[in-house]
Amino acid sequence: MRSHDRSKELFAEALEVMPGGVNSPVRAFGGVGGDPIVMRKAKGAVLADVDGNEYVDFVSSWGPLILGHAPETVVKAVCEAAARGTSFGAPTEAETTLARKICEHVPSIERVRLVSSGTEATMSAIRLARGYTGRDLVIKCEGCYHGHVDGLLVQAGSGLTTFGAPNSPGIPAAQAEQTLLVPFNDADALKTVCEERGEDVACFILEPVAGNMGVIPPAEGYLQAIREITQRYGIVLIFDEVITGFRVGLGGAQSRYGVTPDLTTLGKIIGGGLPVGAYGGRADIMAELSPEGPVYQAGTLSGNPLATVAGLAAVEALEQPGVYDKLEALGAQLAQGLAQAAKDAGVPVRSNRVGSMMTIFFTEEPVTDYATAKRSNADRYAAYFHAMLERGFYFAPSQFEAAFVSLAHTPEQIEACANAASESMKKVANAG
C-alpha cells in the first residue's frame, strides 16, 4: 500500500481553514470517497504527491495541460514575462498576439475579449447576448456545466417548457426562472421550447461535446439542427468550448463538426495552465461590448501578461504539424485499453471519446445525455478509481468527468495504464 501520511496531515490542516479543505469542490473526492491527495510537483505526464508517490496523470488540471505539466516553453515564457512585470493594467503586445491567434484558428471568432476564468467568459457572453438581442431568457442543456454562473446553476423544474430551479442556495428563484432546460442531443426538445418562447430567448448555450457529465459527443446532425433552429428565432448560439477549444482540434469542436456558433467561450488551454478565459464571435455582436458599445464587462487582471504568454506558448506548440494526430492516437489507445480491460473482467462499460478526451461509463446502455449518464454505476467507478490510484494512475475523482491525454503521455504509459486497468476491473467485478 502506498503511504499517504503527509497528505492526510496536510488535508486535516486544510480542513481547518478552508471549507471542505479545498478551493474547488470536485477536488474533495466527494464522488469517490476518501481524502484527496495533496500534490507537490509534476513534470510531463507524471504527478508527485507530498509523500513521494507518483501518478500518471489523466486529469491534466481538468483540461488545460494539453502539453503536460511544466512544459519548458511555457515555463520559460512565464518566467521571462514575470521578470518584466506581472500586471500593468494597460495594453500589452502579447494580448493582441494571442487574440489574433484565437481569431485565426476558431471559425466563429472574429473578435475576442480575454478574461480570467471560464465562468467569467460564459457569464459575460450571456450578458452580451442579452444586450445584443434585448431578450432575457437563456436556454441550456441538462448536465452541461458552464461555471458557477448564477443563472446556469439550475436543474430541470416541472412543466412542458422546463423552467430552471436553483440547484444551489443563494440563487434567487427569479434568476433561475430566466433559464430554460433541454436535454443534450435532443433538437426536437429545443424546437418545442422555441415554438413556445423562441421570441423571448437571448441565447442557447451548450458544450458542443459535453464534458461535464462525462464525455458525450454530439449525435450525428445535432449541432447542425440546433444551428438552424437558433438562426430561425434570432437566438444567439453560444458554444462553450472552455474544454474543447484547442483540445479536439485547433479550431475546437466547431471546426471538427463544421458548425459555426455566433459566440464561443474559451478557457483552460489558452492559458497554458494559468488562470484565463475568453469569449468572442461575430464582429457585430462583439461591437456591443464596452468601450465600443454599451454592454459592460471589465477585469483588473484580464489579458494578464503571465497567462497570455503561457497561452501563446501552448497554442504555438499546438500549431506544429501532427500534434492532433498524436493526441488522437494516444486517446484511442487509452479508450481501447480501458474498454478491453473491462470486457476481459466481464464489467459492462461504455467508452465515449472525442480525440484526447474520454470517459468510461460503468453502464450497459449508450450514454447520449444526462439521463443516460446518470444511470451509470458510480460505486463501480469509485472502486475502479481507487484501484487505479493505488497503482499510480490518477483519474478524475468522479464518474461524470473527462479523462484527458496530453502530448507528454507516451504509448508505454498508456499501455501500463491499460494493464493496471485489467487488474483494477477485476476488483470492480468482485465489488459487485
Taking the CB of residue 198, how many other CB atoms lie within 10 A of it? 19
Amino acid at 299: G
Cβ proximity to ligand PMP, 354 vs 428, nearer residue: 354
One DSSP character per residue, 337-387 reads: HHHHHHHHTT---EEEEETTEEEEESSSS---SHHHHHTS-HHHHHHHHHH
Q: What strand order describes the sheet that includes 350-354?
A: 350-354, 357-361, 403-404
Q: Which residues in the 39-98 window bind ligand PMP by CB under 6 A?
A: 62
Cβ proximity to ligand PMP, 58 vs 233, nearer residue: 58
- Of 55, 186, 233, 268, the catalytic one is 268
Amino acid at 113: R
Q: Which listed residue (68, 249, 267, 280) binds ligand PMP by CB under 6 A?
A: 267
Amino acid at 372: T
For the question of residue 41 being annotated catalytic, the response is no
User: Does the protein bind ligand PMP through residue 146 (CB under 6 A)?
Assistant: yes
CB 408 to ligand PMP: min, Å? 21
Q: How many residues does the chain have?
A: 432
Q: What is the C-alpha end-to-end distance of the chain, expressed in Å?
A: 23
Q: How far apart are CA 362 and CA 51, in angstroms?
A: 31
- Please, are residues 304 and 273 in contact by the beta-carbon 8 Å criterion? no
Q: Give the nearest residue (CB) to ligand PMP.
A: 118
For the question of residue 268 being annotated catalytic, the response is yes
Give the CA diameter of the chain.
62
Cβ proximity to ligand PMP, 135 vs 140, nearer residue: 140
User: Does the protein bind ligand PMP through residue 137 (CB under 6 A)?
Assistant: no
Please state whether 245 falls in left (phi above 0), alpha (psi between -120 and 50) or beta.
Answer: beta
Cβ proximity to ligand PMP, 61 vs 97, nearer residue: 61
- Binding piece for ligand PMP, criterion CB under 6 A, among 52-60, 100-108, 144-152, 326-334: 144-152
Cβ proximity to ligand PMP, 152 vs 414, nearer residue: 152
Please give the size of the binding site for ligand PMP, defined by CB under 6 A.
Answer: 16
Spell out, one character per residue from 274 to 293, where the chain touches ligand PMP: x when CB under 6 A holds, - when not. ---x----------------
One DSSP character per residue, 286-315 reads: HTTBTTTSSB----TTTT-HHHHHHHHHHH
Cβ proximity to ligand PMP, 115 vs 341, nearer residue: 115
CB 147 to ligand PMP: min, Å? 3
One DSSP character per residue, 45-89 reads: TEEEETTS-EEEESSGGGTT-TT-BS-HHHHHHHHHHHHH-S--S
User: Does the protein bind ligand PMP through residue 118 (CB under 6 A)?
Assistant: yes
Q: How far apart are CA 274 and CA 282, in angstroms?
A: 26
For the question of residue 35 being annotated catalytic, the response is no
User: Does the protein bind ligand PMP through residue 119 (CB under 6 A)?
Assistant: yes
CB 75 to ligand PMP: min, Å? 21
One DSSP character per residue, 184-238 reads: TT-HHHHHHHHHHHGGGEEEEEE-SSB-SSS-BPPPTTHHHHHHHHHHHTTPEEE
Q: Which listed residue (55, 58, 132, 145) binds ligand PMP by CB under 6 A?
A: 145
Q: Which listed residue (53, 92, 108, 122) binds ligand PMP by CB under 6 A?
A: 122
Q: Which listed residue (53, 117, 359, 424) binds ligand PMP by CB under 6 A?
A: 117
- Of 49, 57, 240, 262, the catalytic one is 240
Q: Which residues in the 177-216 window bind ligand PMP by CB under 6 A?
A: 207, 211-212
User: Does the protein bind ligand PMP through residue 242 (CB under 6 A)?
Assistant: yes
| Residues acting as catalytic residues | 145, 240, 268
The residues that touch ligand PMP, with contacts defined as CB under 6 A, are 62, 117-119, 122, 145-147, 207, 211-212, 240, 242-243, 267, 277
